[in-house]
Amino acid sequence: MYRDATIRERALWILPLMASAMAMPAMGQPAGVSAGWRRIGNTAIDLSLAAEATGPVDRVWYSPDGGRLYARTPSGRVFVTADFETWKEAPAAPPEADERVVANQLPEAGVRLRRADGQPVRLYAAGRFAYRSDDGGRSWRNLTEHADGAVIGEGLSDLAVSPQDPDQIAVAGPFGVWRSLDGGLSWDGLNRQLPNLPVRRLTAVPAGARGVRVQTEAGELEWAPGERQAWRVSDGGAAAAEMRALALASLLTGLRVTAQASSGSVQYAGSEDGWLAASTDGGANWTRERAGARVVAFAFDPAEPRTAVAATAAGRVLRTTNGGLGWDDLTANLGVPEAYGIAADRVAGALYVATSRGLFLSYADLQNPSPAAPWQRVAGLPDASVRDVRLDAAGNQLYAAVDGYGVFATLAPHRLRALRVVSSADYQPRAAAPGALLSVLGARVRTVRLGDLTVPILAATEGESQIQIPFEASGQTAPLALETGAGSRALGIPLRKAAPAIFVDRDGTPMMLDGDSGILLDAMHPARAGTRIQILAAGLGAVRPDWPTGLAAPIDNPPSVISAVRVLLDGAEVEILRATLAPGYVGFYLVEVRIPDLVDRGAAELHLEVEGQASNRVRVYLEP
């Protein structure tokens, strides 16, 4: 295995030890809950324009000395850049446009005219396209039209000319801010770091080879596992499925449905005019109750669908524990003017609401009627509206969509009150296996025993601890006895010969390396046909010769995995060159394979199989 400091640093994100959330006070207006947020992706969108795009910008202007450029979004937020790359929010108002500029003729009706300082005959115009005239408007040159569209998008809202250089212009439009240094002959985008991603909903969170998906004004976008440049237009599957479900619910209820959820015969629907409707017989019969405002979202556990929570646009949170026969109010001290989304963990009793004033957390009994509990603001996100919130399927990772700033992820704060053991590779509940790395979420573990075996604690914070199951473990279950700061806990998890999992980041990027260079494989660095790649995994089981638990594997001749390992690429088995403990690491396994000589360019799905157990499925980018 190729190893240097860079590769070791890349491996460190596999073991993210989060800072703990503060304990929740029993009464009163809370100060907030801390969380270690990390942004997934950036705020740029790949729309096949001249450069990366972003959301709409309606005004753009230069400072009097031309050294700074300002941009205003339709929401009224103003940003400024001095290096024409990074932006920061600035309290500024756009100057009045000079309406005295006239031209002999216009390139199209309704354009906005701008004159270059000191150049009486140099005019620019912004409309469907951008134009330039060097003769006072007698003739015009189209600067942005290309094929069937425009290189920076059509429908421009503003144009500004630098007071220091008549050839330097900036344009605002539906896809961000664009700049030219040669009078419009070529264009570059200034959108990569402009916090203006118009995210409206989370339509999917990372799972397997799928990345996080969001609904925006530009359609459904995905930040795919391994992506490094920009959000890309997805196949629209998640958003299309949501629209079909809303249409069906509208047909069944006779309401204009704005939110819905269903599992088996239990269905919930919320309407534009504030009705909550529920059915427990597949939509044949419905009960209704007034919610008071447009219903924006539901959250429920498919395993217990008769319990659900709903959020309204007016900031109310409502709960049913009887399949919609009655709803009670959990709003308590939430006190926000508008809510957009809701997520819940039924077993832990945790509720998250996305609002115009940020993200809030509360706890409630989600299985029985009980009083409402206080809400706390979840800290650490940008100061902007949180447009949606979701938990992953296991309720361990929390995702928030922040208007303008994109998508952020963290270990769900409620895990600090509801201890759970998951695989350290992908944070999903899995069986244990000899040598497996497990994360104990929600506690700093002081000691761990598995029967008469001591379990090594590899790292620990107040919110998470990581342990390694002893290679000597045997039997059908792993009875773990944990000592934490809150006392003793006993947990029993299944024990298998192998429980394979490929290490992934929170956006689903797998830890796979080029076998020759050690470079992390992603969309910018695809695996090439005929080359070797190395997959870092956990839970592959016993090795030969025996190796001590908790000790880093040797650099030379690391122990080999005893069980047969299969690697499947788009369902076809590929050649395995070796499967060993990862040299220099504790609890990591390294599986090296050869990519076939003939592959299609693009993304493929890869997973492992060991002892009949399949790993998580991950995305790998290939190049012939």
The pLDDT tens digits of the residues spanning 355-394 come to 999 999 999 998 888 888 899 999 999 999 999 999 999 9
Handedness of CA 21, 23, 24, 27 (dihedral sign): negative
Q: What confidence tier does 20 reach under pLDDT thresholds 50, 70, 90?
A: very low
CA distances from 343 to 114, 388, 389, 390, 391 (A): 48, 9, 6, 5, 6
Q: Are strands 477-484 and 512-514 parallel, antiparallel or unpaired?
A: unpaired
Residue 280 CA to residue 301 CA, distance in Å, equals 15
Given a cut of 50, whether residue 29 has pLDDT beyond it is no
Q: Please compute the mean of the pLDDT values over residues 320-347 and round it to a whole number.
A: 95
Q: Does residue 623 contact residue 521 with C-beta atoms inside 8 Å? A: no
Q: Please compute the mean of the pLDDT values over residues 117-141 and round it to a whole number.
A: 95
DSSP state of 416: G
pLDDT value at residue 412: 94
Given a cut of 80, whether residue 5 has pLDDT beyond it is no
| Domain at 501-623, CATH from 2.60.40.10, 2.30.30.90, 3.40.640.10, 3.10.20.30 | 2.60.40.10
Residue 8 CA to residue 510 CA, distance in Å, equals 15
The full set of domain ranges for the chain reads: 44-196, 199-410, 501-623
For residue 128, the tally of other CB atoms under 10 A from its CB is: 17
Token pair recorded at residue 234: 């997805």
CATH fold group of domain 199-410? Methylamine Dehydrogenase; Chain H (2.130.10)
Residue type, 31: A
Given a cut of 80, whether residue 28 has pLDDT beyond it is no
pTM of the model: 0.88
In the 3-class helix/strand/coil scheme, how is 549-575 assigned residue by residue? CCCCECCCCCCEECCCEEEEECCEECE
